[in-house]
Amino acid sequence: METQLVLEKWAGAIYTLSIGANKEEGGSRGNTVKIGGESSLPLLFKEGNIPNLPAVAFEVWDTPPQDWDEGLVCAYGDVLHDPFAWADKCVREFKAKLLCVRMQGSHPDYGNKGPQEAAKFISTLLSKVNVPLIIIGCGDDAKDNLILPACSEAAKAERCLIGCAIQDNYKTLVASVLADGHNIIAESPIDINIAKQLNILISDMGLSLERIVINPTIGALGYGLEYAYSIMERARLAALSGDKTLASPFICFTGQEAWRTKEAKSGPDHGVIWEVITATSLIQSGADLLVMRHPKAAEKVLAYINTLFKK
Amino acid sequence: MFIIGELINGMYANIGSAIKERNKKEIQNCALTQIACGADALDINCGPASGQPQVDMPWLVEAIQEVTDKPLCLDSSKPAVIEEGLKASRNKTIINSTTADAEKLEALIPLAKKYESKLIGITISSKGIPQNKDQRLELAAAIVDNCLKACFPVEDLYLDPIVLPVNVAQAQMRDILESIAEFKIISEPGPKTTLGLSNVSQGTHLRSLINRTFLTMAVAYGLDSAILDPKDRELIDTLITAELILDKNIYCDSYLEAYRKK
């Protein structure tokens, strides 16, 4: 007897979000990246549409990273000391379609650059590379409230994805993103209740749910990966069942988390393996956008995506 | 919870006179207000004073579907009146209702099939109102059986255990609640359940409190739908909270607002 597949019927779908604006859209990007839009769980093509593949963004900093592992330093070489050359290498050599720039140099402990300098950096970066940008603050709330509005304005109309808004600090960023036509990342500490609440708070300020990407906060393999996985899965099931307040695509900072582990630094290629396993696991719980560090890990993950998502 | 707004009923003075005077605006306002308050569908009843329900029903249907595409719940004890409503409907429809009597079932199941309507089956018959759970189940089984024989999809059937006022039939309340859970296992796939909520508080002094307490209990027994007053904000808040506690929606501090954003 032929086995009959039990297919789920879903009432909802994830919002589709575009990152980057080309000339016709008022920006200057050479390409745009669409994420989200799925009306089924990952890879279950018979239960709904999966119009966009998970995307990979290469992480770039505005200042040389001081504590990156040798495995990463070797992969990039000298360009780590020149953010623009670093970004250029990602685009030209590693074929990045999307960059995630972290404004680490504005952190009070890592350079303490001011808003004008940050804005100038973004303007220059936009002129040097033509892929869409994700812009991430330095992690210091007070400082981010100064530099992110400046970066947002400098990238006006380029439809960037900017973050991260958190429950205790979202209003300044939401106002900037609204004014300058970007999308926002809403970060919650592996907590589905806060993820939902923050989406509501942001949409109450007039930024529609369609322009929010959830950063659920993840842990790498061995460091809470399964916890993040189950939170994402639960949010995704609710969204597909019709809960619009959770129907945002997910962004996962897989590079950052994988390279924090001691295992990543314990032998040649271990970091790459850790990053690949973390990323590919999260793709299966619904990750739409992966921010990655090692070019070889990104290559492997893109190959995985292109193989498995080929319908 | 599939909420059917009960307020378009000729029994209410404003609706009664709006029907009589052909005041479309009043009807449409009532429809839109109920939807804004959370109604997923609208009950339409011409009321006891309507001398010509076969004309009033399609007029109401036309007036309402000018402003909304929400499903319409055509409420009459006369199949002919329901059919006039079905003919006029472009929106999805729910027939409210058949009893377990053969003549009603034979008239209304074919209508529901012909117009691809859902159907509410009330567990009463010409013999009267059931006095306990077993009688309710017997009538429910008769309705389900007739649907199956007529090839009407049972998942489009909503069984109503017939709610009685608590000050009249206090001893029956538990049976009514338990019937909700048991109706659903009569067949596979099972029928859905609904009820006319306001009846439970008829003639009492604390209507809203009794309504929302009963609704909470019914939700815990698996109720799928209710015909109620969506303008009763405390009632809707209570309903949202009951469903939250049953893990039907994910908690957040603004869960009431989140539900209303859906």
What H or E segment, with its residue span, contains residue A89? helix A83-92
B254 contacts on A by Cβ (under 8 Å): 197, 200-201
User: How near does any CA of chain B get to the CA of A33, in Å?
Assistant: 27
Would the CB atoms of B257 and A200 count as touching at under 8 Å? yes
> Hunting for tokens 């589709």 — which residue is that?
A16
DSSP H helical segments within chain B, as ranges? 13-21, 24-36, 53-65, 79-88, 102-114, 133-149, 173-183, 207-220, 233-245, 255-261
CA distances for A161 relative to A102, A206, A284, B118, angstroms: 12, 17, 23, 45
In a domain, A223, yes or no: yes
Cβ separation B251–A243 shorter than 8 A: no
Kindly state whether residue A7 falls inside one of the protein's structural domains.
no
Judging contacts by C-beta atoms under 8 Å, the chain B residues touching residue A192 are 250
Tokens for A26, please give them: 């008022």
The count of domains in chain A is: 1
Q: Please check whether residue A9 lies inside any domain of the structure.
A: no
Cβ-defined contact of B262 to A203 (cutoff 8 Å): no
Q: So what's the pLDDT on residue B193?
A: 98
Question: If phi over 0 gives left and psi between -120 and 50 gives alpha, with beta otherwise, what is residue B140?
Answer: alpha
pLDDT at A1: 72
Distance in angstroms (rounded) separating the CA atoms of residues B69 and B194: 21
Side-chain half-sphere CA neighbours of A143 within 13 A: 19
Q: What is the mean pLDDT of residues B32-52?
A: 95
The verdict on residue A269 lying in a domain is yes
Task: Identify all chain B residues contacting A243, using CB atoms and an 8 Å cutoff.
Answer: 249-250, 258, 262
How far is it between the farthest Cα atoms of chain A? 70
Q: Average pLDDT, stretch B229-253?
A: 97
**Spatial strand order in the sheet of B41-45:** B192-193, B157-160, B118-122, B93-98, B72-75, B41-45, B2-9, B225-228
Confirm or reject contact between B247 and chain A (CB < 8 A). no
What are chain B's domains? 2-261 (3.20.20.20)
pLDDT at A4: 84
pTM recorded for the entire structure = 0.89
Select from B249, B252, B261 the Cβ nearest to the Cβ of A197: B252
Q: Domain residues for A148?
A: 16-308
Residue A106: φ, ψ to 5°: -90, -10
- Return the structure tokens found at A276: 């690949």
CA distances from A27 to A57, A158, A187, A298 (A): 19, 5, 26, 27
pLDDT along chain A (311 residues), means of 10: 86 97 96 98 95 98 94 95 98 98 97 96 98 97 97 98 96 98 97 97 97 97 96 97 96 97 94 97 97 98 95 67
Cis peptide before B97 (omega within 30 of 0): yes
Rounded to a whole number of angstroms, the distance between the first and last alpha carbons of chain A is: 26
Residues of chain B found within 8 Å of residue A246, distances taken between Cβ atoms: 250
Q: Is residue A45 part of a domain?
A: yes
Q: What is the pLDDT of residue A5?
A: 84
CATH number of residue A35's parent domain: 3.20.20.20
CA–CA distance, A266 with A280 (Å, rounded to integer)? 21
**pLDDT computed for residue B160 by the predictor:** 98
Which structure tokens are listed for A232? 């994402």
B52 and B22 in contact (C-beta within 8 Å)? no
Q: Is residue A227 situated within a structural domain?
A: yes
In a domain? residue A75: yes
CB contact under 8 A, A196 and B258: yes
Which residues in chain A are contacts of B253 at CB distance < 8 A? 193, 197
Within a domain: A157: yes
pLDDT tens, residue by residue, B90-128: 999 999 999 999 999 999 999 999 999 999 999 999 999
